[in-house]
Amino acid sequence: MRFHPQWWLTLPCLLGMAWAGERAWTRSHRAGLCNAEYEPPPAGMVFVAAGEFWMGSDDASAEPDERPLRRVFVPAFYIDKFEVTNRRYKEFKRNHQYPPGEDDLPVTFVFKHEAEEFCRWAGKRLPTSAEWEKAARGTGGQHYPWGDKFQARCANISWAAQGDGINAVKRKPPASASGKLPPGSLPLGVSPYGCHDMAGNVWEWVSDIWFDRNILGFKQATEGRGILRGGAYNYSPLQARTSYQGFEALGATCHDVGFRCAMTAIPKRMRR
């Protein structure tokens, strides 16, 4: 058998051409998504345009799962302006129980699979973690929905940071006995796209599953966990940052865990 050394030169060239072709197709596809026109969002939702945004964090206070700060492309989507309330959830689940007077507070004690079932019933879905984060912080990578500096009047959380955080003081949540507020009660905290309460009030399920990784970067053979975003009324400004992720077992929930819905954006049909 003769040895043909030119194959060792040809193979890298073919791989390089394939990589370049895939990159060119990706750029073209993304450009098409960015240039497309989309239908207006359904009532109660906002439109988030296709494109890249800064996701994650390189801050000293960032958790390992937030790192690194990177550019992520997200196709166009719609997302709810507000967290789902008890009143709305009860339309889906007639036997849903909650304290009197909390009809218009965010629904909590919801398992992830129940949140997914509600979304399907409503013709929607849970947002991905990237969608949620882009809707919360915009494209520029700001730390909170309203900007880089924490503002107590913008979020229903337990600790109001003053200055650089050294003089942080505890405050009583301006909420119901449960600590929750009706969605939209703090309009100064609205996100760049018009979403309310994406910092504080209640944690929100997203569709992604988190798997711990070993030192080599491979997924560990353990059950995945659900990802929660946004912090809650009984947490601090650290957890309310737009890049922060909380984790919960898929078979668990809590008194401060709720959700909002999303939809893939619908392109407009070309008129003849």
pTM: 0.88
Q: What pLDDT, on a 0 to 100 scale, did the predictor assign at position 181?
A: 97
Q: How many CA atoms lie within 13 A of 66 on its CB side?
A: 22
Q: What pLDDT, on a 0 to 100 scale, did the predictor assign at position 201?
A: 97
Does a structural domain hold residue 269? no
Q: Of 227, 265, 261, which is closest to residue 120 (Cα–Cα)?
A: 261
Across 256-266, average pLDDT: 98
The reply to whether 253 and 151 lie within a common domain is: yes
- Determine what percent of the chain is predicted with pLDDT higher than 90: 75
Domain total of the chain? 2
Q: What pLDDT, on a 0 to 100 scale, did the predictor assign at position 116?
A: 98
The reply to whether 44 and 15 lie within a common domain is: no
Residue located via tokens 């409503």: 122
Reported as a single tens digit per residue, the pLDDT across 70-89 is 999 999 999 999 999 999 99
Q: How many CA atoms lie within 13 A of 272 on its CB side?
A: 0
Across 59-63, average pLDDT: 94
The reply to whether 212 and 177 lie within a common domain is: yes
Q: What pLDDT, on a 0 to 100 scale, did the predictor assign at position 62?
A: 96
Q: Please state which of the ranges 10-19, 53-62, 255-264 shows the lowest mean pLDDT.
A: 10-19
- Tell me: pLDDT of 229 over 80: yes
Reported as a single tens digit per residue, the pLDDT across 159-202 is 544 333 333 444 444 556 689 999 999 999 999 999 999 999 99
- Tell me: pLDDT of 109 over 70: yes
Per-residue tokens: 127: 């947002």
The reply to whether 183 and 213 lie within a common domain is: yes
Q: What pLDDT, on a 0 to 100 scale, did the predictor assign at position 82?
A: 98
Does a structural domain hold residue 272? no
> What is the CATH number for 100?
3.90.1580.10
pLDDT band at residue 158 under the 50/70/90 scheme: confident
Q: What pLDDT, on a 0 to 100 scale, did the predictor assign at position 146?
A: 98
Is-contact 73 32, C-beta < 8 A? no
Mean pLDDT, rounded, of the chain:
88
Q: What pLDDT, on a 0 to 100 scale, did the predictor assign at position 232?
A: 97
Does a structural domain hold residue 3? no
- Tell me: pLDDT of 92 over 80: yes
The reply to whether 159 and 180 lie within a common domain is: yes
Residue with more model confidence, 41 or 270: 41
Q: What pLDDT, on a 0 to 100 scale, did the predictor assign at position 164?
A: 37
- Tell me: pLDDT of 256 over 90: yes
The reply to whether 198 and 256 lie within a common domain is: yes
Answer whether the bond into residue 68 is a cis peptide, omega within 30°: yes
Residue 193 φ/ψ region, left for φ over 0, alpha for ψ in the -120 to 50 degree band, beta for the rest: alpha
The reply to whether 25 and 143 lie within a common domain is: no
The reply to whether 13 and 144 lie within a common domain is: no
Does a structural domain hold residue 2? no
Helix/strand/coil percent split, the chain, to 5: 25, 20, 55
Residue with more model confidence, 125 or 11: 125
Q: Which structural domain, as residue segments, surrounds residue 22?
A: 9-38
